[in-house]
């Protein structure tokens, strides 16, 4: 058994200046801190934060209703979330369905892990490897809260929170390939939003949606407020993720069918208007001609006309002097 290299006691939760979490940072009796959201640490770097590793691990405690969290005994029994004294225990199974470890959470929100680390997501062993939709949350209780609101749908969670979301998601690409839709339902704070976009970038294109919860930080908070409908709405209304610059053609119907004026401005030359049908925003028109043919003169004439119509005009004359311009 590999235990703590230095014995320290948890003192209190505190904000993290590195990631902005309001209570993810933990202060210990020797003065060092460790954030369980972004994994930033200060002080003694030799401390292993409450991570006991053993070759064998057992499920202890029993499933019971979490009254404050509004999570039923049935849901906790399904996920095997057991209360053991003053702790909650969350089991982690490997891809073969064999119990490998247990994450333990105290009332002070202090975490430790017993057993062998896995590459799987929490709750993954409870659901098939293919289906219509799978929802991924930041934490175990968020997944259980979503399942409480939408029983029967696959709800899993990241094993290490938002900080390692992209890395943990990448390890389970084969699982996600089996689902038609992948909903990332992370916390509504900045780290959660950033993690969702980073994780979405490595998942199968066209399958990922990002859920946003209005009025609550996470699904657990919504369920505690008896607003399971907010959880369901966030999942049903999850927006498809698209990298910057990619546009779904279906969203352009209104743009291409809305009548547009033939031009935004007419040229101050009748012949040019007949050729080009006026000036339109978003178009680039290039004038070419030999030296001394009058390109600059035409540009200045057009610029003057636009200024008189109330438009702002930017001019970059690469050959003219400042005095001439």
pLDDT, mean of residues 51-67? 75
- Total number of residues shown for the chain: 325
Q: Longest C-alpha distance within the chain, in Å?
A: 90
Burial environment of residue 290 by CB neighbours within 10 A (0 to 12, 13 to 18, 19 or more): exposed
pLDDT tens, position by position, 76-118:
999 999 999 999 999 999 998 899 999 999 888 788 898 888 9
Single out the residue of 241, 227, 210, 65 nearest to residue 146, CA to CA.
Answer: 227
- Expressed in angstroms, the distance from the first to the final Cα of the chain is 79
Confidence tier at 7 by pLDDT (50, 70, 90): very low
pLDDT at 49 over 50: no
pLDDT in tens, 253-296: 888 888 888 899 999 999 999 999 999 988 999 999 998 898 98
Phi, psi (degrees; rounded to nearest 5) at 251: -85, -5
Q: In the chain, pLDDT over 70 holds for what percent of residues?
A: 86
CA-to-CA separations, 75 to 18, 19, 97, 217, in angstroms, rounded: 35, 32, 19, 21
């Amino acid at each position: 058994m590999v235990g703590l290299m230095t014995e320290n006691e948890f003192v209190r939760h505190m904000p993290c200046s590195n990631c902005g979490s309001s209570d993810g940072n933990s202060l210990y009796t020797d003065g060092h801190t460790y954030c369980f959201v972004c994994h930033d640490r200060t002080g003694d770097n030799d401390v292993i934060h409450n991570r006991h590793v053993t070759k064998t691990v057992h499920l202890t405690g029993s499933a019971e209703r979490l009254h404050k969290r509004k999570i039923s005994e049935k849901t906790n029994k399904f996920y095997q979330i057991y209360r053991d004294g003053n702790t909650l225990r969350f089991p982690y199974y490997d891809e073969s369905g064999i119990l490998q470890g247990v994450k333990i959470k105290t009332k002070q929100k202090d975490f430790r892990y017993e057993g062998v680390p896995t590459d799987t997501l929490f709750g993954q062993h409870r659901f098939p490897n293919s289906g219509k939709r799978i929802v991924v949350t930041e934490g175990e209780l968020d997944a259980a809260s979503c399942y409480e609101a939408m029983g029967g749908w696959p709800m899993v969670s990241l094993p290490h929170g938002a900080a390692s979301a992209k890395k943990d998601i990448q390890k389970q690409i084969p699982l996600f390939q089996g689902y038609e839709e992948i909903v990332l339902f992370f916390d509504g704070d900045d780290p959660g939003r950033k993690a969702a976009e980073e994780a979405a970038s490595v998942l199968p294109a066209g399958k990922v949606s990002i859920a946003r919860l209005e009025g609550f930080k996470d699904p657990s908070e919504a369920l505690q407020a008896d607003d399971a409908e907010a959880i369901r709405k966030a999942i049903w209304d999850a927006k498809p993720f698209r990298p910057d610059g990619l546009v779904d053609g279906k969203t352009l119907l209104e743009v291409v069918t809305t009548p547009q004026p033939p031009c935004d401005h007419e040229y101050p030359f009748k012949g040019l208007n007949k050729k080009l049908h006026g000036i339109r925003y978003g178009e680039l028109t290039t004038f070419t001609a030999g030296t001394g043919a009058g390109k600059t003169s035409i540009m200045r004439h057009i610029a003057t006309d636009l200024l008189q119509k109330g438009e702002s005009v930017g001019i970059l004359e690469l050959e003219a002097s400042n005095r001439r311009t």
